[in-house]
C-alpha cells in the first residue's frame, strides 16, 4: 500500500482495542510507522507495555497503555475516561478486540457465548457511541470495526461468533452512512482466515484453516480501505471470490457446505 494511507493519521491519536496480539498488534505497528500516537488496550498489559516501549523508541510517537477487560460492561466508559483524562482527542477508533468459540451451540458454556456477544458487539457499540459525538462535532474522525468473512453467512460450529460478526458488519455499514455527511468515516474490515492467536483461543482445529493471510496484510487492507472512504472491505482475492460465490448459491447449501468444513 500506499504508505501514504498510513500517514493519514500522522500526529493524531488512534485507540486500538485488542492491541496485545494478532491483527490489533499489526495495526499498532503500521500506525506507529506512519507517525500516529497510540492508545493501546487489552487485558495482557505486560504485552502492551513492551509494545509501547518498542514503538515509541522506534518511531518517536507517544504511546499510552490502558488495561481493560471488555467482558466488563463498564470497560468502554473506563477507556473513554482514560483518554478524556489525558486530553487525548481520538481521531481513529479501531474496534478490533474479539474472540470466537468453536463447537456445538448446545455444548459451549452459555457464559462464554454471552461474553462473546459483550466483547464482539456490545463493547463495539458502546465505544463507538462514546467517541462518535466528538467526531461528528469536529467534523472529522475515523472508525474501523473488525467484522469477518463470517459476517456474510451462517457458520455452523461457530454460530454465535458468525452472528456477532454479521452484527458488526451491519452496524458499521449503517453508521457509516449516517455520519458520512459530517466528515466521519466508518469501515468494516472483513478478513478471512488470518494467522493470529484467534484459532487457539477459539479452540478451533487447524484443518479448518488452510490458506491464512498474515495479520500485517489484513491490517494494511483495513487502514487503506478506511483512508479511501470505503464502508467495508474484504481482505484477499480468494475471500472476495468466496463471498460472491456464496451470494449466488442457495443459503441452505452455503450453510451445509460450511458445516462440512467445520464439523468437529
Ligand X SMILES: NC(=O)c1ccc[n+]([C@@H]2O[C@H](COP(=O)([O-])OP(=O)(O)OC[C@H]3O[C@@H](n4cnc5c(N)ncnc54)[C@H](OP(=O)(O)O)[C@@H]3O)[C@@H](O)[C@H]2O)c1
Chain residues binding ligand X by CB under 6 A are 18-24, 42-44, 68-71, 96-99, 119, 146, 148, 191, 193-194, 196-198, 201, 215
- Match 481493560 to its residue by C-alpha cell: 68
**CB of 196 vs ligand X, minimal distance in Å:** 3
Closest separation in Å from C-beta 4 to ligand X: 25
Q: Which is nearer to ligand X, 98 or 250 (CB)?
A: 98
Q: Check 12, 161, 217, 230 and give the catalytic one.
A: 161
Query: Catalytic annotation on 112?
Result: no
Give whichever of 94 and 135 is closer to ligand X, judged by the CB atom. Answer: 94
- For the chain, how many residues are written? 264
Q: Which is nearer to ligand X, 177 or 197 (CB)?
A: 197
Radius of gyration (Cα) for the chain, nearest Å? Answer: 18
* Least CB distance to ligand X at residue 19 (A): 6
Residue 186, classified by CB atoms within 10 Å of its CB into exposed (0-12), middle (13-18) or buried (19+), is: buried
**In the complex, minimum distance from the CB of residue 138 to ligand X, in angstroms, rounded to a whole number:** 27
- Nearer to ligand X by Cβ, of 22 and 141: the residue is 22
Cα(215)–Cα(153) distance, rounded to whole angstroms? 22
Residue 182 C-beta: closest distance to ligand X, Å = 26
Q: Which of 165, 217, 253, 260 is catalytic?
A: 165
String of DSSP letters for 28-94: HHHHHHTT-EEEEEES-HHHHHHHHHHHHHHH---EEEEE--TTSTTHHHHHHHHHHHTT--EEEEE
243 catalytic per annotation:
no
189 and 210 in contact (C-beta within 8 Å)? no
Residue nearest to ligand X according to CB distances in the complex: 22
* Number of other residues whose CB lies within 10 A of the CB of residue 30: 20
C-alpha cell of 247? 451470494
Residues 6+ apart with CB under 8 A from 70: 17, 76, 97, 118, 119, 123
Grid coordinates in use for 260? 462440512
Instruction: Using alpha carbons, select from 126, 140, 1 the residue that is nearest to residue 76.
Output: 126
- Nearer to ligand X (CB atom), residue 90 or residue 140: 90
Which residues belong to the active site?
161, 165
Amino acid at each position: 500500500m500506499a504508505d501514504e494511507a498510513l500517514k493519514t493519521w500522522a500526529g493524531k491519536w488512534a485507540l486500538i482495542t485488542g492491541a496485545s496480539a494478532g491483527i490489533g498488534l499489526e495495526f499498532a505497528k503500521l500506525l506507529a510507522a506512519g507517525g500516529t500516537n497510540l492508545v493501546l488496550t487489552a487485558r495482557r498489559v505486560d504485552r502492551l507495555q513492551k509494545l509501547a516501549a518498542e514503538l515509541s523508541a522506534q518511531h518517536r510517537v507517544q504511546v499510552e497503555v490502558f488495561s481493560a477487560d471488555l467482558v466488563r460492561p463498564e470497560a468502554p466508559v473506563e477507556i473513554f475516561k482514560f483518554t478524556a483524562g489525558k486530553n487525548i482527542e481520538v481521531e481513529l477508533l479501531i474496534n478490533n478486540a474479539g474472540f470466537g468459540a468453536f463447537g456445538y451451540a448446545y455444548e459451549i458454556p452459555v457464559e462464554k457465548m454471552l461474553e462473546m456477544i459483550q466483547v464482539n458487539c456490545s463493547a463495539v457499540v458502546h465505544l463507538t457511541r462514546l467517541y462518535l459525538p466528538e467526531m461528528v462535532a469536529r467534523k472529522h474522525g475515523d472508525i474501523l470495526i473488525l467484522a469477518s468473512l463470517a459476517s456474510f453467512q451462517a457458520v455452523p460450529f461457530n454460530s454465535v461468533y458468525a452472528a456477532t460478526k454479521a452484527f458488526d458488519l451491519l452496524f458499521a455499514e449503517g453508521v457509516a452512512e449516517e455520519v458520512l455527511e459530517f466528515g466521519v468515516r466508518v469501515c468494516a474490515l472483513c478478513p478471512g482466515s488470518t494467522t493470529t492467536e484467534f484459532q487457539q483461543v477459539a479452540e478451533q482445529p487447524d484443518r479448518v484453516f488452510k490458506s491464512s493471510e498474515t495479520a500485517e496484510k489484513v491490517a494494511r487492507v483495513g487502514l487503506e480501505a478506511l483512508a479511501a472512504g470505503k464502508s467495508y472491505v474484504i481482505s484477499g482475492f480468494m475471500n472476495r471470490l468466496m463471498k460472491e460465490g456464496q451470494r449466488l448459491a442457495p443459503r441452505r447449501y452455503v450453510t451445509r457446505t460450511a458445516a462440512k468444513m467445520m464439523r468437529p
